[in-house]
Amino acid sequence: MIVLGREVYVCKCSTDVPREPSASDASPNVEWTLGNRDDFAMVPLEHHEDAHFADFEERLGRGEEWLIGVMGEKIVSYTWLHARSHVSYPYLPGCKFKLGQGVGYGYDAWTHPDLRGEGLRRRGFVEELHVLRTSFGCEWEASFFVKHQLEGATRSLAKAGIRIVPLWRVRLGENRKAQFESLAPEDRSTEPMDSE
Ligand SMILES: CC(C)(COP(=O)(O)OP(=O)(O)OC[C@H]1O[C@@H](n2cnc3c(N)ncnc32)[C@H](O)[C@@H]1OP(=O)(O)O)[C@@H](O)C(=O)NCCC(=O)NCCS
């Protein structure tokens, strides 16, 4: 479930983080695994519509990985991963980036509303970095954060040893074109694509 955003940050983080939960980790006990079509039956229907499943089908068909957190018979948290070279943030027109070698992509994270704020996304993030590193050979993950989520995410993920590095700020200009501001000019891991 991608969040609408008129100001979006492209960030990267290293996939080299300790996988063991810290002593202070008190997130609910969830099994993290890679999902497939057979797991659609465990997706809570009260929070997902037919269009979600159509998207999920397409993503699996494109070879993306679906990291799911399973509690009992239900998926309570998930995220999507791939290592293609081009990514975009669909709700900010023109927000398209090319990823460098060794940079993977994580997106569309979701946690069940009843379990939010208990650390599931943080645990899932650690697991997804492991998947990007081991399945796709990526040293970095790139992700989009909408402005209002960046600070909380940075603080939360730091507790698991994940350091979020902002690379680009993207805003919708008055001409309704994406405007890109580099926040780390030396970094070449992501480059905006010309929106012409
Ligand atoms: C964003 C979301 C995935 C966080 O899941 P969660 O399991 O509640 O996250 P955790 O319990 O591990 O961590 C909560 C912290 O994550 C922070 N956070 C907010 N957005 C975040 C994001 N996109 N990624 C990671 N952490 C995020 C919160 O600020 C909070 O910080 P705090 O504990 O310092 O207050 C969940 O709220 C959700 O599904 N929201 C709707 C969909 C969405 O916005 N997805 C993200 C954009 S793709």
Q: Domain for residue 52, yes or no?
A: yes
The total number of structural domains in the chain stands at: 1
Choose which residue among 12, 59, 111, 118 to substitute to test ligand 1 binding: the one with the highest number of ligand atoms within 8 A of its C-beta: 111
Domain span at residue 105? 7-192
| Ligand 1 geometric centre to CA of 194 (Å) | 30
Pocket test of ligand 1: the residue of 79, 128, 149 to mutate, having most ligand atoms within 8 Å of its CB, is 149
Place of tokens 């580099």: 182
Q: Tell me if 1 is assigned to some domain.
A: no
Structure tokens at 158: 């730091």
140-164: average pLDDT: 97
Per the domain annotation, does 2 fall within a domain?
no
The pLDDT value given to residue 25: 78
50 occurs within a structural domain: yes
Distance of CA 99 to the CA centre of its chain: 14
Q: What is the pLDDT of residue 59?
A: 98
Q: What is the pLDDT of residue 175?
A: 81
CB-ligand 1 contact for 121 (6 Å cutoff): yes
Residue nearest to atom 36 of ligand 1 (CA): 111
**pLDDT score at 1:** 55
Give tens-digit pLDDT for 46-102: 999 999 999 999 999 999 999 999 999 999 999 999 999 999 999 899 999 999 999
Please provide the average confidence, as pLDDT, over all residues in the chain.
94
Residues 6+ away with beta carbon under 8 Å from 70:
30, 31, 32, 33, 39, 42, 76
Residue 2's pLDDT is what? 52
Above 70 in pLDDT, residue 195?
no
- pLDDT band of 192, cuts 50, 70, 90: very high
Question: pLDDT, tens digit, for every residue of 12-58?
Answer: 999 999 988 776 777 889 999 999 999 999 999 999 999 999 999 99
In a domain, 188, yes or no: yes
User: Cβ of 44: how many Cβ atoms within 10 Å?
Assistant: 13
Question: From the CB of 4, is ligand 1 less than 6 Å away?
Answer: no
Element containing residue 115 per DSSP (H, E): none
Q: Is the pLDDT of residue 3 over 80?
A: no
Alpha-carbon distance of 101 to 153, in angstroms, equals: 25
CATH number at residue 177: 3.40.630.30
Q: Is 57 in contact with 93 (CB distance < 8 Å)?
A: no
In this prediction, residue 180 carries a pLDDT of: 96
Average pLDDT score over residue span 112-125:
97
Question: Under a CB-based contact definition with an 8 Å cutoff, are residues 11 and 149 in contact?
Answer: no
